[in-house]
Amino acid sequence: MTDSELNKRIIEDYKAQLPTYQVMQRYYVGDHDLLYFQTTEPTDEIAIENFISKFISEEVSYCLNNPVSYVSKKGNPEIIKAIDTYLYHWKTNHNALMMQNFEIFGKSYSLSYIDAKGRFCERLLTPLNAACYCDGDNVPQRFIHFYTKKYDNDNYYDIYYPDGRIEIYKNDGLIDTKKHPFKGVPVSVCEMDNISETIFSKIWTLQDAYNRILSDQVSIIDSYKNAYLIMTGVSIDAETEKLLSSKGLLLLPENGKAQWLMKDMNSSYIESMLTILRNAMFSATNHIDGNEKLQSNTSSLAIRSRLIFLEQRSKAMYDYISDAIYDRLERLFEYLELKNLYFDASDIKINFTPSIPVDLATTVQVISQLGDKISNETALSLLPFVENPAQEMEKIKQEKADLDEIDLDKINGDD
pLDDT digits (tens, 9 = 90+) for 121-168: 999 999 999 999 999 888 999 999 999 999 999 999 999 999 999 999
Residue 111, judged by CB atoms within 10 A of its CB (0-12, 13-18, 19+), counts as buried
Same domain, 182 and 241: no
Distance, CA of 135 to CA of 184 (rounded, Å): 12
- Lowest average pLDDT, out of 64-68, 268-272, 315-319, goes to 268-272
HSE-CB for 230 with a 13 A CA cutoff: 6
Q: How many percent of the chain have pLDDT more than 90?
A: 48
Say whether pLDDT at 377 is over 90. no
Residue 308 lies inside a defined structural domain of this protein: no
Reported as a pLDDT band with limits 50, 70 and 90, residue 408 is: low
Of residues 405 and 340, the one with the higher pLDDT is 340
Which of 142, 170, 194 is the last residue before a domain boundary? 194
Q: How far is CA 69 from CA 172, 392, 405, 406, in A?
A: 43, 12, 32, 33
CB atoms under 10 Å from CB of 131, counted, come to: 23
SS3 of residue 44 by DSSP: coil
d(C-alpha 154, C-alpha 169), whole Å: 10
- More confident position, 279 or 229: 279
Query: Would residue 108 count as lying in a domain?
Result: yes
Instruction: Please tell me what DSSP assigns to residue 82.
Output: H
163 with 100, same domain?
yes
Q: What is the mean pLDDT of residues 20-28?
A: 96
Q: Looking at the structure, do residues 141 and 245 belong to the same domain, yes or no?
A: no
Whether residue 385 is contained in a domain is answered as: yes
Q: Are residues 144 and 98 in the same domain?
A: yes
Q: What is the pLDDT of residue 244?
A: 61
- Residue 188 shares a structural domain with residue 240: no
pLDDT of residue 304: 59
- Please report whether residue 168 resides in a domain: yes
Q: pLDDT tens digits for 232-261?
A: 666 667 776 666 655 555 556 666 676 665
Residues 23 and 169 both lie in one domain: yes
pLDDT in tens, 178-218: 999 999 999 999 999 888 999 999 999 999 999 988 888 77
Domain boundary among 262, 288, 308: 262
Q: Is the Cβ–Cβ distance between 332 and 120 less than 8 Å?
A: yes
Residue 210 lies in a domain: no
Count CB neighbours of 149 within 10 A: 10
pLDDT at position 406 over 80: no
- Please check whether residue 322 lies inside any domain of the structure: no
What pLDDT score does 287 carry?
A: 86
Asked if 104 and 236 sit in the same domain, the reply is no
**Is residue 328 assigned to a domain?**
no
- Is 122 contained in some domain? yes
pLDDT of residue 42: 47
Q: Is the pLDDT of residue 227 over 80?
A: no
| Cα distances (angstroms) measured from residue 86 to each of 80, 82, 252, 386 | 10, 6, 82, 20
- Helix (H) / strand (E) element for 315: namely helix 308-337
More confident residue, 170 or 405: 170
Contact 155, 171 (CB under 8 A): yes
Q: What is the mean pLDDT of the chain?
A: 83
- Same structural domain for residues 19 and 121? yes
Q: Which of 259, 252, 247 is nearest to 235 (CA)?
A: 252
CA distances from 264 to 139, 186, 220, 226, 378 (A): 63, 64, 13, 8, 65
Same domain, 136 and 256: no
Nearest to 219 by CA among 381, 39, 3, 17: 39
Q: Which sign, positive or negative, has the C-alpha torsion 401, 403, 407, 410? A: positive
Half-sphere exposure of 374 (CA within 13 A, CB side): 13
- Give the residue numbers spanning the domain of 189: 3-40+89-194
Task: Please compute the mean of the pLDDT values over residues 263-286 and round it to a whole number.
Answer: 82
Q: Are residues 141 and 237 in the same domain?
A: no
Torsion of the alpha carbons at 25, 28, 29 and 32, rounded to the nearest 10: 90
Whether pLDDT at 299 is above 80? no
Pick the last residue of a domain from 262, 280, 307: 262
Neighbours of 7 (CB within 10 A): 20
In the chain, the number of structural domains is 3
**pLDDT tens digits, one per residue of 332-376:** 999 999 999 999 999 999 988 877 666 677 778 888 888 877 888
DSSP structural state of residue 184: S
Q: So what's the pLDDT on residue 39?
A: 55
Residues 156 and 258 in one domain: no
CA atoms within 13 A on the CB side of 305: 8
For residues 23 and 127, membership in a common domain is answered with yes
What does pTM read for this prediction? Answer: 0.76
